[in-house]
Amino acid sequence: MLTINSYDEFATYEGKELGVSEWVLVSQERINQFADATDDHQWIHIDEEKCKAESPFGQTIAHGYLTISLIPLMWNQTIQVNNLERMMNYGMEKMRFGQPVLSGQNIRMKVTLDEIQNLRGAVKTNVKFVVEIKETGKKAVEGIATFVYYFKN
């Protein structure tokens, strides 16, 4: 895991890979819990028997937003930023879903620091991320996440 303690240290990674997370299992239990939390009970996510018979994937798939919601977990496995007053999510851009994540598959995230800006007391970072599926080697989702960091003086 990469550890960052200041803007100057962070800036040395611009254009470079920051790291790769551990593999995260996307189990049917996790999918069902996400469906309950979001009230999105579409059959393609939760009805295993119907999916075996009718889904083009032959089994349930994770919600796209579930995959995205695992980004903070995988981010925290990749990088630790110290000496902060606070950090805020600022947004996501150019996000594309490439391949559905099937129940029981594993995903991980690779991140690259695309751009960093010092904004008088705040540091804005654009981080390219790719979430890949272990079992297929394909991209589940990719995009750019923007974070704003406030380092302590």
pLDDT tens-place string over residues 78-113? 999 999 999 999 999 999 999 999 999 999 999 999
Q: What percent of the chain has pLDDT over 70?
A: 100
Triad 131, 62, 90: Cα angle to 5°: 50
- pLDDT category at 153 given cuts 50, 70, 90 is confident
Show Cβ contacts of residue 93 under 8 Å, excluding neighbours closer than 6 positions.
126, 143, 144, 146
- pLDDT category at 2 given cuts 50, 70, 90 is very high
Report how far apart, in Å, the C-alpha atoms of 118 and of each of 16, 49, 150 are: 18, 53, 10
> 148 with 84: CB under 8 angstroms?
no
CATH number for the segment(s) 2-151: 3.10.129.10
The pTM assigned to this predicted structure is 0.93
pLDDT tens-place string over residues 22-38? 999 999 999 999 999 99
Say whether pLDDT at 76 is over 90.
Answer: yes
Domain ranges of the chain: 2-151
> 98 with 67: CB under 8 angstroms?
no
